[in-house]
Structure 1
Amino acid sequence: MTDNQKWQQQLISQAAEQRVSDQLDALEQIDIYVETNLLKIVQGQADGVTVSGQGLVTKEKIRVQEIKLQTDRIDINPLKAIIGQVQLNKPVNLMARVTLKEADINHALTSDFSRNLVQNFELDVKGKIVNFDLEQMQIFLPDNEQIELRGKVQLKENNHSHPLGFTATICPRTHSHPIMLKSFQCTEGEGVSLDFLVSLMQKLQYLTNLPYLQWEDMQLSLKNMQVQKETLILLVAANVNQIPDNMTEFND
């Protein structure tokens, strides 16, 4: 690689770092390397992007302790990119290693985003639909390769609701086995029926056996989870058809 090519890559990478930094509430460090040159970038192409960041806080106040991300070839619409909108001409594959702290996860569980996810979760219990309204949730990461959950939800069925407090223990996904529910115990409310528990187990089994989860124009696949004391490390693969608008609007 010539000195001119190195200079071009450095210039483009610094511009990408600035763009990403502008979309975050806070960060400790971010390094982005865009494998391309001025000719390719004018054509909307890059051979790959590598991202390494620490202490990233999103606009939704969700904090990521550390992220390392690598994409394959990127092909974007250069005219859209000029006005700050990244539109992919072809899907992009990426791998990411994400490190989250227990305290940051618990803070994220209080966000509207997390509550909306739970509200969209429903069970079919013998033909009756049961919805969930999250009131509180905490996660605990002891140093024993297990995830402990303590929470309280309102179960809504036929316009009636009742509280359910619970504790649960989950064995995280590894390369050899999916996520598994090890224990579930009611701690508040009237408890739940056996039919409810069977439906819950069937729903969890269905979700953990999915090859990927769809979020907007992204297909996310959780490959591995590692639990350390107060730390959760995720290995995630993704196929991105389009980057969400709220991640690509750089204009004021």
Structure 2
Amino acid sequence: MPDEHRLEEEFISQEAERRISEKLDGAEKIEIDVQTDLLKIVQGQADGVSVVGKGLAIKEDIRVQEIKLQTDSININPLSALFGQIELNEPVNATARIILTEVDINRALASDLIRTQMQNLELDVDGEIVSFEPQEIKVFLPSDGKIECRGRVLLKEKGNTRPLAYTAVLRPRTHAKPAMLESFNCTEGEGVSIELVTALMQKVKELMNLPYLKWEEMAFSIKDIKLEKGSLILLVETQVKQIPSSITELSL
């Protein structure tokens, strides 16, 4: 019987791998393991799903170096599962370990897909609205546990628009330590006021202290961040109500 169960798992897992591979622009490795058997499939159940991927290219200039994901037990649509499509009947919890390289992060930040989603950041500075329009941003990941950002923005305040270039060095939040901004320097432009810097730091603090983030039908929280030379490692917990349509269609 165990061998029969394994054959059923392999059939569904391989069909899921085939469907996802067809929609990816490229993948060095993709392995999906649907942990179930025929009886559970008929009942719309699975003990869990694990995904291991390396070098996954998702549409234009979006690439993940490595991902390892494991779900809890799930309730699924039995007919869709037989054809390798996982449609959730109830929300499911999952944990993931994601590795992003410095090269891939910067390629994504420069892509039209991400740039079109970058919205102006608006701040209330002593009752006046000041906005930042991102023009360029690059991330550098040295081996000392820091993230360095270099960028240019258009700063709009008091009816005037002016360019501003900056460099910032920070240590991301981990399970043991809060996020720390080590330095912020203006490299081009007239600089910024102390009031504006204070409002910006308050906004960043609010964003970093959010208990979770939402994206379509997913709620996720970053539990830990680790830095290695040239790589960013995220440990993430998620609750998925349904597989996002933008994943299915591979359009973020």
| Normalised TM-score (structure 1) | 0.91
Cα separation, 2, equivalents of 1:224 and 1:35: 27
Contact 2:12 2:84 in 1 (8 A): no
109-118 or 20-29: bigger deviation: 109-118
1:81, CA displacement in angstroms? 6.1
What are the residue-to-residue correspondences of 1:164-175 with 2, within 5 Å? Answer: 164-175=164-175
219-228 or 36-45: bigger deviation: 36-45
Specify whether residues 193 and 75 from structure 1 end up closer, same or farther in structure 2 by C-alpha distance, changes over 3 A only.
same
Specify whether residues 27 and 159 from structure 1 end up closer, same or farther in structure 2 by C-alpha distance, changes over 3 A only.
farther
Contact 2:16 2:85 in 1 (8 A): no
- Structure 1 equivalent of residue 212 of structure 2: 212
1:83, CA displacement in angstroms? 8.8
Cα separation, 1, equivalents of 2:148 and 2:31: 33
1:157, CA displacement in angstroms? 3.8
Cα separation, 1, equivalents of 2:95 and 2:135: 33
Cα separation, 1, equivalents of 2:70 and 2:176: 24
Contact 1:88 1:243 in 2 (8 A): yes
- Structure 2 equivalent of residue 110 of structure 1: 110
- Structure 1 equivalent of residue 147 of structure 2: 147
Cα separation, 2, equivalents of 1:130 and 1:43: 55
- Structure 2 equivalent of residue 137 of structure 1: 137
- Structure 2 equivalent of residue 74 of structure 1: 74
Task: Name the % identity.
Answer: 56
How far does the alpha carbon of each residue in 1:212-245 deviate from its partner, in whole angstroms, 9 at most, with x for none? 1112221111111111111111111111122211
1:80, CA displacement in angstroms? 6.2
Specify whether residues 237 and 116 from structure 1 end up closer, same or farther in structure 2 by C-alpha distance, changes over 3 A only.
farther
> Which SS does the other structure have where 2:138 is aligned?
strand
> Which SS does the other structure have where 1:104 is aligned?
helix
- Structure 1 equivalent of residue 163 of structure 2: 163
Q: Structure 1 stretches of 5 or more lacking a match?
A: none
1:88, CA displacement in angstroms? 2.4
How far does the alpha carbon of each residue in 1:12-70 deviate from its partner, in whole angstroms, 9 at most, with x for none? 11111112212211000011111012332344322101111110010242111111111
Contact 2:155 2:164 in 1 (8 A): yes
How many residue pairs match? The answer is 250
Specify whether residues 43 and 248 from structure 1 end up closer, same or farther in structure 2 by C-alpha distance, changes over 3 A only.
farther
Contact 1:85 1:249 in 2 (8 A): no
Contact 1:67 1:97 in 2 (8 A): yes
Contact 1:84 1:248 in 2 (8 A): no
| Normalised TM-score (structure 2) | 0.91
Cα separation, 2, equivalents of 1:125 and 1:236: 34
Cα separation, 1, equivalents of 2:151 and 2:121: 15
Contact 1:86 1:248 in 2 (8 A): no
**Amino acid across the alignment from 2:170:** I
What are the residue-to-residue correspondences of 1:12-31 with 2, within 5 Å? Answer: 12-31=12-31
**Amino acid across the alignment from 2:96:** A
> Which SS does the other structure have where 1:49 is aligned?
strand
Contact 1:85 1:248 in 2 (8 A): no
Q: Structure 2 stretches of 5 or more lacking a match?
A: none
- Structure 2 equivalent of residue 188 of structure 1: 188
Cα separation, 2, equivalents of 1:155 and 1:78: 53
